[in-house]
């Protein structure tokens, strides 16, 4: 075969090559290959919660979420889904986003004060046969050292009907209660210390007040207003003039 006769074959081969190349480019443009993306990095273990002295309160172990102190501070710490670990109540829910990213937090709780507060609270609740009870302990700077709730709650126990069993509720923060008479001494002391009242200041005390839509009522009838008066006792005490309870009397003895 001469060189002249091979020219058409070479030309036809080049044309066929360009057609196949163009077809391949078209296929890549219209239907790009599906590349398998790399698997996502494993999520970090859920963050932990610690007491102020470093005592672990919540940890993630191979078996799942763990609460080393059991029932202690359980209503404050809360709990989560057993399968995913997502927080459902308490700090587990409030800090869920950060905990899921592996962040850990140190609380101001003192585990010893927490344990003592819970022991006293649970004993008192059993004695009074009440439906629930709560107690908080704060230091002078306002840091929360203990948040005790009763009845006791085990965050790892089988779930009960949340409408009937309220042991999981953090009553200290979720239940609005009217302030008791123990707050009167604290209020009076603050007013005296800040110079906003004197011992003869007349105190307006109606039988009820409406605060932010809440009606707070007094239990025992009393005069609408009364001034303070000093009792003649040693050490001196103070009482409201006109109040049904007189100043304490000193016992007299014959000498």
Q: Work out the average pLDDT over 64-80.
A: 92
Residue 241 or 144, more confident: 144
**pLDDT (tens digit, 9 = 90+) per residue, 178-193?**
667 778 788 888 989 9
Which helix (H) or strand (E) segment holds residue 230: the answer is: strand 225-230
- The full set of domain ranges for the chain reads 49-105, 111-156+163-174, 182-240
Asked whether residue 76 carries a pLDDT value surpassing 90, the answer given is: yes
Tokens describing residue 188: 């009076």
184 with 155: CB under 8 angstroms? no
What pLDDT score does 37 carry? 78
Radius of gyration, alpha carbons of the chain: 37
Q: CA of 50: how far to CAs of 36, 117, 147, 183, in Å?
A: 41, 18, 14, 32
194 with 207: CB under 8 angstroms? no
**pLDDT (tens digit, 9 = 90+) per residue, 230-251?**
454 444 444 444 444 444 444 4
- Whether the predicted model's global pTM rises above the 0.85 cut: no
What pLDDT score does 193 carry? 92
What pLDDT score does 159 carry? 74
Most confident of 4-8, 107-111, 205-209, 215-219: 107-111
Q: What order of strands is seen across the sheet that includes strand 49-50?
A: 64-66, 56-61, 49-50, 105-106
Tokens describing residue 3: 């060189």
242 with 223: CB under 8 angstroms? yes
CATH assignment of 49-105, given 3.90.1310.10, 3.20.20.150, 3.40.190.10, 3.40.50.300?
Answer: 3.90.1310.10
Which helix (H) or strand (E) segment holds residue 137: the answer is: strand 133-138
What pLDDT score does 187 carry? 85
Sequence-ordered list of residues with C-beta below 8 angstroms from that of 109, at least 6 positions apart, any chain:
51, 52, 57, 73, 76, 144, 145, 146, 147
DSSP character at residue 142: -
Helix runs in 31-156, H state only: 74-77, 90-94, 96-100, 111-128
Most confident of 43-52, 108-117, 177-186: 108-117
Residue 65: how many CB atoms within 10 A of its CB? 20
Q: Work out the average pLDDT over 185-209.
A: 84
Asked whether residue 169 carries a pLDDT value surpassing 70, the answer given is: yes
Most confident of 43-47, 116-120, 155-159, 227-231: 116-120
């Amino acid at each position: 075969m001469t060189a002249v006769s091979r020219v058409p074959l070479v030309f036809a081969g080049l044309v066929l090559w360009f057609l196949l190349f163009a077809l391949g480019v078209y296929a890549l443009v219209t239907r790009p290959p599906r590349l398998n993306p790399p698997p996502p990095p494993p999520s970090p273990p859920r963050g932990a919660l610690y007491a102020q002295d470093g005592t672990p309160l919540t940890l993630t172990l191979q078996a799942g979420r763990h609460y080393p102190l059991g029932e202690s501070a359980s209503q404050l710490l809360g709990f989560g889904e057993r399968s995913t670990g997502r927080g459902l109540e308490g700090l587990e829910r409030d800090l869920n986003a950060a905990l899921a990213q592996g962040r850990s937090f140190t609380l101001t709780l003192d585990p010893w004060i927490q344990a003592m507060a819970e022991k006293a609270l649970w004993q008192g609740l059993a004695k009074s046969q009440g439906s629930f009870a709560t107690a908080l302990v704060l230091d002078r700077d306002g840091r929360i050292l203990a948040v005790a709730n009763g009845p006791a709650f085990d965050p790892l126990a089988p779930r009960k009907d949340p409408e009937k069993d309220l042991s999981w509720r953090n009553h200290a923060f979720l239940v609005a209660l009217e302030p008791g008479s123990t707050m009167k001494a604290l209020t009076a002391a603050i007013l005296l210390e800040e110079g906003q009242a004197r011992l003869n200041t007349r105190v307006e005390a109606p039988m009820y007040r409406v605060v932010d839509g809440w009606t707070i009522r007094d239990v025992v009838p009393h005069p609408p207003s009364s001034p303070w008066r000093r009792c003649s006792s040693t050490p001196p005490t103070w009482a409201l003039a006109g109040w049904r309870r007189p100043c304490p009397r000193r016992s007299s003895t014959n000498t």
